[in-house]
Amino acid sequence: MRKLPIYDFTKDHPEWPRILAILGNGSALTMERRPIYPYGACYWLSDEFARQIEGEMVPGWRVQWMPGLYIEAVHHGVVRKGNQWLDPHDLHPDSEASGREGISLFVEDRSIPVDLKWPVLIPHRHLALRNDDDVTNYILQYNRNAQADRRRRDIRQASLGSSWSIRTGWVGVGPLTDKVINFELDDSLIRMFEAKEKLATKCRALKDENT
């Protein structure tokens, strides 16, 4: 799949108050992003990094967007020590901006429990910027996938003798045999990436119209 035009969002956009309200109007700040770690496992790696420098891992939302189409807030963990903040995690590898340093827009949010003993699966939040069937479909397929992923985790977590860690993964559970959940996971993932490809083409066309 081609790299996607997904970038850091900025507070000077007119829709910033709306996405901030969706995120609970928490404390918003910008911070340096250095891709010390790849995308994923942000809570555990930020917690490990913070312990090394006697800081803390702070949960919240990293805000990004596909210009002209939608804003996406990804639940995330960053590092704070005193009044110094750092986002040590890369953007998703599908993003055209992955692998680069940048400025993350982050909204602190401690209202959602983050239990590092189990997979943390907090759904992204979205704001569509136009009435577009492909935007609607992408958000729909993302939410289908996220819901099925959480159901899979909950079933495994409830299994007698099961455990999980960021280093070992699941222990004491076999492959999920629930056909409905497996179908939802696979089908929604395929449809989500198909929708993203269409949106990437639209995003580039909008950019060309404005240049």
Per-residue pLDDT of the chain (211 residues; tens, 9 = 90+): 578 999 999 999 999 999 999 999 999 999 999 999 999 999 999 999 999 999 999 999 999 999 999 999 999 999 999 999 999 999 999 999 999 999 999 999 999 999 999 999 999 999 999 999 999 999 999 999 999 999 999 999 998 889 999 999 999 888 777 899 999 999 999 999 999 999 999 998 987 776 5
Angle (nearest 5°) at CA 155 between 154 and 158: 85
Q: Which residues sit opposite 95 in a β-bridge?
A: 4
* 48: its two tokens: 């490990």
Between CA 88 and CA 36 the distance in angstroms is 5
pLDDT of res. 178: 83
